[in-house]
Structure 1
Amino acid sequence: MTSADSDIDDKPGLTIHCQENPSVGVRFCDRFSFDTDSVHYAVELWAPGLTARANEVVAWIWDSDLAPFLEELAADYRGWDGERSWRTDDKDLMVSAVFRSGGHVGLTWTLRPWPSAAGGWSASVTTWLEGGEQMASLASDVRHFLAGAIDGQVD
């Protein structure tokens, strides 16, 4: 389940809760741009005993961003074999997707800021959503967040 929301500072954000365990989630927030070629944002992951944040994930306008990847998953609501994956150019955010019987999609969100730095870290959580409608809603919400158009609550 996804929701457009605002944090304490009233900045727009997007929260994704795992359908099977609401204490697991992902949040896109603190979106900003320096120029017309890119969008910068933070990604937060949480699960029992885990919190992680990457402060400056970058989406470039000329690359395939996260929204089309999610839209493709939503279009394949009947399922697929194996794992599909997407990552930012900097490899600081990666998403892998698997399809499970019953029409559920597992999205594993991995943060790895400074992937080539010695002593770097990574953290992952998996959110489960229904294929089709929930995936289409997530893709739309991500597209709106990256465009700076998140506003209000999505049920």
Structure 2
Amino acid sequence: MLQAAGGPRWIVRSPQDPYGDGYVHTVATELYDDGMTASTVAKIDGMYASLDCTLPGFVEGLAAEWRGWDGVRSWASMERELALDVRHDRRGHVSLGVTLRASGPDWDDTAWSARAVFVLEAGEELARFATDLSRFLAM
């Protein structure tokens, strides 16, 4: 779970292996912000995926480059039900945008979506978030 003081809250539930083969997992996820509530189930890569394309690998990579980067870094689940976009302000903070979309394929971008932005300290807070999320999603 990620929660900003008095601001948005993002919850990720325990991963499930719906096919029992370890290749694809699903996570139920919820987003709350200023009266908005959104939830979806996202398909994410399982234990056989290379670390750099997984959600834990993505956030661990951000934490490893805590001093900063140019532009926007992004990650999305297999069918884009969960997407992250991350910007570093080069002054010690990271803006983490979390977008949820309706479950299932949405190739024409017509499904609903909800987005909230979290501001994290680029050092310890980002590292703690990456470690906690990686441990939680360990499959």
Give the TM-score band, short-chain normalised: 0.7 to 0.9
The one of 10, 15, 27 equivalent to 1:31 is: 15
2:83 paired with 1:107: no
How far residue 49 of structure 1 moved from its aligned partner, in angstroms, is: 2.1
TM-score by length of 1: 0.76
Once the two structures are overlaid, the 10-residue window that deviates more, 64-73 or 27-36, is 27-36
Q: Could you list the per-position Cα deviations for residues 1-47 of structure 1 after superposition, in whole angstroms to 9, with x for gaps in the alignment?
A: xxxxxxxxxxxxxx1012xx433111001532221222211111111
Aligned to 1:141: 132
- Residues 86-134 of structure 1: per-residue CA shift (max 9 Å, x gap): 1112111110000124311000000112423785200000011111221
- Name the TM-score, length of structure 2 as normaliser: 0.84
Once residues 124 and 90 of structure 1 are traced to their aligned partners in structure 2, the CA distance between those partners, rounded to angstroms, is: 16
Q: Unmatched 5+ residue regions in structure 1?
A: 1-14, 149-155
Report the residue type matching 2:72 in the other structure.
E
Partner Cα distance (1:22, 1:140) in 2: 23
- Structure with the bigger RCO (C-alpha within 8 Å, sep 6+) is 1
* Matched residue, 2:44: 59
Q: Is the 8 A contact 2:14 2:137 kept in 1?
A: no
Which of the residues 27, 36, 47 maps onto 2:33? 47
Kindly tell me the number of residue pairs found equivalent between the two proteins: 131
When structure 1 is superposed on structure 2, of 32-41 and 121-130 the one drifting more is: 32-41
Give the strand-richer structure, 1 or 2: 1
Q: What are the ranges of 5 or more consecutive residues in structure 2 without an aligned counterpart?
A: none
* Equivalent residue number for residue 75 of structure 2: 86
Q: Which residue of 2 aligns with 1:153?
A: none
Q: Counterparts of 2:110 and 2:61 in 1: how far apart (Å)?
A: 35
8 Å CA contact 2:42, 2:80 repeated in 1: no
